Amino acid sequence: LISAVLLGLTHYYDERRVMMLLDIYEKSQSVNLSMRALCAALLGMYMNRSRLWDRKLRQRIDSLRELTSWSSDVKLVFMQFIRSRDTERINRKMQEEVFPEMLKLRPDIARKISGGDGLGDIANLEENPEWQELLDKSGIADKIKELSKMQEDGGDVFMSTFANLKSFPFFSDVVNWFMPFHLDNLTVKNALGSELSAIGNLVLSSPFLCNGDKYSFILALSSVPAMQRRMMLSQFDAQNLNELELRNASLGLPSGERDNVANKYVQDLYRFFKLYRRKGDFNDPFIRPINLLQLAVLAPDLTDVDTLSVVGEFYFKRGYYDDAYHVFEILGEILPPDSQLYQKMGYCCQKSKNTAKALKYYEQAELLNADSLWTMRRLAACYKLMGNPAKALEYFKRIEAKKSDDPGVALNIGHCLLELDRPDEALNYYFKADFFDEKSTRAWRPLAWCSFIAGDMVQSEEYYNKVLTDNPSSGDYMNMGHLNLAKGDIREAINFYNLAIDANNGDVESFINNYNADRNHLLKAGVEGSLLPLVVDAILYSRD
């Protein structure tokens, strides 16, 4: 009934439906019904937020605030809606990173655990150190840890696993997407038969599967041959069941029954709107981020500092920078000036490509904490992006005073000096970067180009020869062509220019544009101006 009323609200707003859901939330003695009704009411209100003007609804919510659980329940549901936004990202990680990598490892795992004879003790797989080594080297172990952390935060890590198990006829009926899982259900009884008690109770007590996924699991299990199913059941002796319970307890699932009910119901809703075979017949509330902060009627419940801080950090850590900025902006109006808050607001703006606005917040953060290296780096980067190398140089110099042996700082100082047409000073910093970062090759290119600009062709050639051994790019071949042109070796210059064009998928037009952009550097290096167009003609002729 609750889900049916919600589906109606997604198509047509009727305040009586919202009132009905709020009545169920208030009066039901069942946590399951109460929290489902609240999820449905808030989702229905959000989808019809432009119509929430009636005073009666506001008065109803004001009276509900007198219930000790209202504000905390609204916050719980809000966090579940926010977490649902992460489902697609988790899905992609599973489909594009974890599953393909595990498939690649299958032959290696088989060899490691079987000794090459095709047989192996699967029970000892977890204890095999070579298996763990394979996981560590492949990077899967890190990805699994990341997914585990997402699950601890309430993320939906099972969406991709069970998405393909929603094609059973059972899921053709809309009501079954919202049916709480129970052993009296005829589908469950028919699927498990005599094994209803052994398997059913195990699935029923599973804290990490939503109701729809429990039905999917049972239906999938019913299609497994009886012999294999009995073998699986034989593994679930008393000791294994106790271990499973302990593991479930350590998963860090949403704490509290109310939170858990909301978490699982939102997952059921998400699956219906994303996976139901006739999903196009329904308005999907999850097609855009659900942000209950846009409901003015809920402002007293959601705009306290603690809630906004949690929501803002959630958005920030997951890279939803526009939403994080909006929350931090509200916090900024409530809290006294705070350096870290301004840093995060600046970072959100920078990630959203609004460098000028980011600079403003970084400057405010600097006023409150002038010694922060992180803020200095961001200010320097912003000034550099905005085409002010002189101001960027000031900040990089301040950073250098605190971290004199940082090769990255030395490189950036060199870049600023080169932009300010001070190549001799820039060279000194590039050499410094190369000295402090012997294992890296990142100083070679600026050293080679800066030497060319400074007129030291011998030194430039020495470094460009190194660069050409380090996965050279189209730009590297072009610069080597410039060097040979300045030396008077026109044939070799044309050879390198052709290599530059080939490395850029044969894009002659792009090459000519870049070549003309370097005209002043070539003239300063002693190349005759009349020669430059002739070189282009020779290149075009050689490629016909």
**Long-range own/partner contacts, residues 195-201 (CB < 8 A, 24 or more apart):** 195/229, 195/233, 198/233, 198/236, 199/233
Q: Is residue 107 part of a domain?
A: no
Q: What is the pLDDT of residue 99?
A: 54
Higher pLDDT, 135 or 489: 489
User: Do residues 21 and 2 make contact, with C-beta atoms less than 8 angstroms apart?
Assistant: yes
Asked whether residue 125 carries a pLDDT value surpassing 50, the answer given is no
**φ, ψ for residue 45, nearest 5 deg:** -65, -40
How many structural domains comprise the chain? 2
Q: Is residue 416 part of a domain?
A: no
Residue type, 494: I
Of 254-268, 331-345, 441-455, the one with minimum mean pLDDT is: 254-268
Of 62-71, 207-216, 226-235, 498-507, the one with minimum mean pLDDT is: 226-235
Q: Is residue 64 part of a domain?
A: yes
Q: How many CB atoms lie within 10 A of CB 100?
A: 11
Q: Is residue 490 part of a domain?
A: yes
Q: Is residue 512 part of a domain?
A: yes
Of 200-209, 317-326, 489-498, the one with minimum mean pLDDT is: 200-209
Residue range 468-480: mean pLDDT, rounded:
92
Calpha distance 479→48 (Å, rounded):
60
Q: How many CB atoms lie within 10 A of CB 43?
A: 22
Domain boundary pick from 36, 67, 84: 84
Residue range 416-437: mean pLDDT, rounded:
92
Name the most confidently modeled range: 97-111, 246-260, 357-371. Answer: 357-371
Asked whether residue 247 carries a pLDDT value surpassing 80, the answer given is no
Of 229-238, 259-268, 386-395, the one with minimum mean pLDDT is: 229-238
Q: What is the pLDDT of residue 220?
A: 84
Mean pLDDT for all residues in the chain: 84
Residue range 328-349: mean pLDDT, rounded:
95
Q: Is residue 498 part of a domain?
A: yes
Question: With bands split at pLDDT 50, 70 and 90, how would you rate the model's confidence at 142?
Answer: low
Of 78-92, 266-280, 447-461, the one with minimum mean pLDDT is: 78-92
Tell me the residue range of the domain where 542 lies.
Answer: 472-544
Residue range 273-301: mean pLDDT, rounded:
92
User: Do residues 362 and 343 make contact, with C-beta atoms less than 8 angstroms apart?
Assistant: yes
Q: What is the pLDDT of residue 139?
A: 52
Q: Is residue 54 part of a domain?
A: yes
Q: Is residue 513 part of a domain?
A: yes
Asked whether residue 273 carries a pLDDT value surpassing 70, the answer given is yes
Q: CA 108 → CA 5, 103, 128, 290, 343, distances in Å?
A: 52, 10, 13, 44, 46
Half-sphere exposure for 136 (CA within 13 Å, toward CB) = 6
Residue range 235-260: mean pLDDT, rounded:
57
Percentage of the chain with pLDDT > 90?
A: 61
Of 121-130, 225-234, 272-281, 370-379, the one with minimum mean pLDDT is: 121-130
Question: With bands split at pLDDT 50, 70 and 90, how would you rate the model's confidence at 243?
Answer: low
Q: What is the pLDDT of residue 163?
A: 86
Domain boundary pick from 39, 68, 84: 84
What would the DSSP string read from start to end of 197-209?
A: HHHHHHHHT-TTS
Domain boundary pick from 61, 84, 107: 84
Asked whether residue 193 carries a pLDDT value surpassing 90, the answer given is no
Q: What is the pLDDT of residue 208?
A: 78
Q: What is the pLDDT of residue 3?
A: 96
Q: What is the pLDDT of residues 1-41, one digit of tens each?
A: 999 999 999 999 999 999 999 999 999 999 999 999 999 99
In Å, how far from its chain's centre is CA 285?
21
Higher pLDDT, 73 or 189: 73
Query: Whose structure tokens read 């319970």?
Result: 245
| Angle at which helices 31-47 and 257-275 cross, to 10° | 50
Q: What is the pLDDT of residue 7?
A: 96
pTM for the model stands at: 0.77
Q: What is the pLDDT of residue 119?
A: 41
- Six-digit token pair at 73? 């329940």
- Six-digit token pair at 147? 């997914």
Percentage of the chain with pLDDT > 70?
A: 82
Of 22-36, 168-182, 225-239, 339-353, the one with minimum mean pLDDT is: 225-239
What would the DSSP string read from start to end of 111-164?
A: HHHHTTTT---GGGGGG-HHHHHHHHHHTHHHHHHHHHHHHHTT---SHHHHGG
